[in-house]
Amino acid sequence: MTIGDITPKKERKSRRIKHVVDDTAPLLPKRQDEDAGYDEFNGASFTGAVFNLSTTIVGAGIMALPATMKILGLILGIAMIIFMAFLTDASIEFLLRFSRAGKTTSYGSLMGDAFGKYGRIFLQICVLVNNIGVLIVYMIIIGDVLSGTSSSGVHHAGVLEGWFGEHWWNGRTFVLIVTTLGIFSPLACFKRIDSLRFTSALSVALAVVFLVITVGIAIIKLISGTIMMPRLLPDVTDLTSFWRLFTVVPVLVTAYICHYNVHSIDNELEDSTQIKPVVRTALALCSTVYIMTSFFGFLLFGDSTLDDVLANFDTDLGIPYGSLLNDAVRVSYAAHLMLVFPIVFYPLRLNMDGLLFPSARPLALSNMRFAFTTVGLITLIFLGANFIPSIWDAFQFTGATAAVCLGFIFPAAVTLRDRHSIATKKDKILAIFMIVLAVFSNVVAVYSDAYAMFKKNSVTERTA
């Protein structure tokens, strides 16, 4: 299957007894046929779908959210998280409604239905850019946690470095090689997204462990009076600090991007009428986690909050067993990201195959193509993680480009195109609002980042 398939398929409710063999179906057939000898599959459960979608949403973006609180302040920051959740729900609703109307079963086929071949190709390219960027961020964070990182001239020791001291075998490159070969590669070999439901459930549990420990530390320090309530509003002193507020938009957009997996999860659901409750349940769960992480992370570290808040957990917390809690926080979230990796990698491989081999037989039936695509993408991600210095840099690039297209511009464009004449006036107004907001915010974010970089370089040259 490729994401570009645009063959219509009948609307379906229960898939328990449906014999699916066309190439717009899930990556694996649900019952055996003469072309594939896979086990019978009667459809994914509601719970499994929620876990898979939640895992798609709660990835590395959560680690940069406390840094957005540092820029926006708590009130505006939390309001923006809630606002983005509602906007994401609306954009996914557009995707699902127009997919049903056009009888399409993938994001790419929906874009193909609305804008033809080039719409589908543009979508596939955006998925590649976004997912490769996100997976590079995952590796960067795992490297930061296990091997350490240097931020603003200060070295933050990694967990392994803290336990065993500096050695060649706990250096960043070697640790990422072992993680890639021992964890990422085996998990990336699953050919059906529902096969990852158990690792997704474990990844959500690990994210909750990280959150519970962070909340507990913050409450203890707040009661003891060792930390103060952080800023409620942004600190705007000049035009530069005002424009800097917009740099958080790409990070918030990236934090909610899950659109590329919605169709895959919907295709494998036992009852496809449950997809909207699945989406809303996952968004509610993730928004709660985001708000609590942002609030308590910023509460703990205030204006010292780093772009990757995990890197802050190498300092003395000033509470009993602080060192142990630091390690528990970092290790639990690094393990969470390791389990999120295959969920994001799944649509990445699917879209890469669709872009390179648009007319080939389903990817699940070609082991050589499957292996070639998997190895090539993992190698590219590994190299990127070793050459990109900061997760904020990666988020700014993917969030301001591909992520905003996947999350808002494409769903809004499909709605305005309205090939099946089902969009209401309210839908079109909301679609225009999405596009204007996305384009304006991200243009300002890119300009602000470029201006800040230019100004920093100018100051460096003058002091040199």
- Domains with residue ranges and CATH for the chain: 58-457 (1.20.1740.10)
The predicted pLDDT at position 271 comes to 81
Q: Token pair for residue 382?
A: 């590994």
Confidence of residue 11 (pLDDT cuts 50, 70, 90): very low
**Residue with the larger pLDDT of the pair 196 and 435:** 435
Cβ-based neighbours of 203, under 8 Å, separated by 6 or more = 55, 335, 336, 339, 340, 343
- pLDDT tens readout for residues 259-277: 888 988 888 888 878 899 9
The predicted pLDDT at position 404 comes to 83
- pLDDT tens readout for residues 249-262: 777 877 888 888 89
The predicted pLDDT at position 312 comes to 75
Q: What percent of the chain has pLDDT over 90?
A: 18
Highest mean pLDDT: which range of 148-152, 364-368, 370-374: 370-374
The predicted pLDDT at position 455 comes to 66
CA distance 464 to 461: 5
pLDDT mean over 188-194: 79
Is pLDDT above 50 for 198? yes
Is pLDDT above 90 for 27? no
Is pLDDT above 60 for 433? yes
Interhelix angle 172-179/367-387, rounded to 10 degrees, is: 160
Q: Token pair for residue 113?
A: 């239905």
**What pTM was estimated for this model as a whole?**
0.77
Q: Residue 91's closest CA among 341, 411, 422?
A: 411
pLDDT mean over 418-446: 87
Confidence of residue 452 (pLDDT cuts 50, 70, 90): low
The predicted pLDDT at position 4 comes to 42
Up-side HSE of residue 89: CA atoms within 13 Å toward CB?
Answer: 18
The predicted pLDDT at position 276 comes to 92
**Mean pLDDT for all residues in the chain:** 78
Q: Token pair for residue 288?
A: 């709660």
The predicted pLDDT at position 431 comes to 95
Is pLDDT above 60 for 176? yes
**Residue with the larger pLDDT of the pair 18 and 126:** 126
CA distance 407 to 65: 18
Q: Residue 145's closest CA among 293, 297, 309?
A: 309
Residue with tokens 């490729």: 2
Which value, to the nearest 10 degrees, does the dihedral of the CA atoms of residues 70, 73, 75, 78 take? -20
Q: What percent of the chain has pLDDT over 70?
A: 80
The predicted pLDDT at position 432 comes to 95
- Residues 371, 373, 374: CA angle, nearest 5 degrees: 65
First to last CA, the chain: 56
Is pLDDT above 60 for 41? no
pLDDT mean over 387-411: 73
Is pLDDT above 80 for 43? no
Q: Residue 391's closest CA among 69, 56, 133, 207?
A: 133
Which helix (DSSP H) or strand (DSSP E) does residue 154 occupy? strand 154-156
The predicted pLDDT at position 347 comes to 86
**Residue with the larger pLDDT of the pair 413 and 159:** 413
CA distance 318 to 322: 7
pLDDT mean over 70-96: 91
Confidence of residue 111 (pLDDT cuts 50, 70, 90): very high
Tell me how far CA of residue 72 lies from CA of 45, 241, 257, 298, 407, in angstroms.
Answer: 39, 10, 21, 11, 22
CA distance 459 to 389: 21
pLDDT mean over 370-397: 79
Is pLDDT above 80 for 379? yes
The predicted pLDDT at position 154 comes to 61
Is pLDDT above 90 for 417? yes
pLDDT mean over 102-109: 88
